Amino acid sequence: MLSHHDRTELEKIERSLELSDPDLALALRDGRRPKSRAFRSAVLIFFDVIAVTLLVLGLVLPDPGVTLCGIIALTGTVWTHVARHRI
């Protein structure tokens, strides 16, 4: 059983966590693992590299379809970066 002092300290830590990282606090409250930001960043960088590669290949090769795919993929990755930083 926790003492009154320990409970108040624990409540302070909980409030601080909810203010600083509400996603982590919610994940801990629900008992699920928080989503890894490093994994999301790695996947996003992978798609960035693919999009730029498609665009460069489209500009080098005489195929407008590859260029169009590169432009669409690059637009999607830019939109994802912007949406991610607005959250």
Read off the pLDDT of residues 48-66 as tens digits, 9 standing for 90 and up.
999 999 889 988 988 889 8
pLDDT value at residue 34: 59
Q: What single-letter amino acid sits at 73?
A: A
The one-letter code for the residue type at 33 is R
pLDDT score, position 53? 92
Assess whether pLDDT exceeds 80 at residue 73.
Answer: yes
Domain positions in the chain are: 1-35, 36-87
User: Could you read off the pLDDT of 9-42 as tens digits, one per residue?
Assistant: 888 888 887 888 887 777 778 777 656 778 888 8
CB 37 within 8 A of CB 45: no
